[in-house]
Amino acid sequence: MRIQKHLSQEGILSRRKTEEYIKKGWILLNGEVVIDLGTKIEPGKDIVELTEEAKAVKFTYMLFNKPFGIFTNCPEDGEKQITDLLPAEYAKISSVGRLDKDSEGIILMTDDGAMANHFLNSGFEHERDYEVRIDNVMTRTMQSKLEDGIRMMDTITKPSKIKIISKQRFIITLTEGKNRQVRRMLKKVGVNVVKLKRISFAGFKLGDLKSGDYRLLEKEDFQTDFITSE
């Protein structure tokens, strides 16, 4: 198994970060510095370790309130993405998941690939709440269908919870984040989204964080354990 895949599966480093650390001489295989990006290991037999330099690296964790009209990443010509709104020192951090251009609200940002992998690829379920306004009245039948799960994209969405605020406003809680999931689910029951704001993610709440602002976090702020290279 390639060493990049091994460290990624173990939740220690992303594959890209592993290659970066190999180039810096920060990864040891059976006590020897790894110099070849194509190095393979035998899990359970070989010992892979990080050097003290690698362990000393500090990662950035951030909550950002994405404004409407801003891309999470990969903006179109003339458009802006989240990192365009952040100080230059945070230019290399990435989002954990995404919100589409027409949505707003809380999003996690980090340069810790292991943490991002924990939330995106480990199968770990975490709740995210969306405040939604629609173009018609939410009926009991619609609510039941949404809460039970909607067939879309060749699968059925996981059960959700809905808290009604008014006839056309509610909060929906999901434990997964498929592409444009809330919009697609509502389209399936015959209504369209007028406004969509994510107000919580993995235990973190948007609170009074203003649009376009950010708040730095510490690893200890997370409600779940994940391994990093610290």
Answer yes or no: 100 catalytic: yes
147 in Cβ contact with 159 (< 8 Å): yes
- The one catalytic residue among 100, 111, 112, 208: 100
> With contact defined as beta carbons under 8 Å apart, do 134 and 128 qualify?
no
Residues forming a β-bridge with 152: 155
Q: Is-contact 107 97, C-beta < 8 A?
A: yes
Spatial distance between the Cα atoms of 188 and 184, rounded to a whole number of angstroms? 6
Residues 6+ apart with CB under 8 A from 108: 61, 62, 63, 64, 95, 96, 97, 119, 201, 202, 204
| Closest by Cα among 199, 191, 198 to 167 | 191
How large is the angle between the packed helices 140-148 and 181-188, nearest 10 degrees?
Answer: 130
- The catalytic residue positions are 100
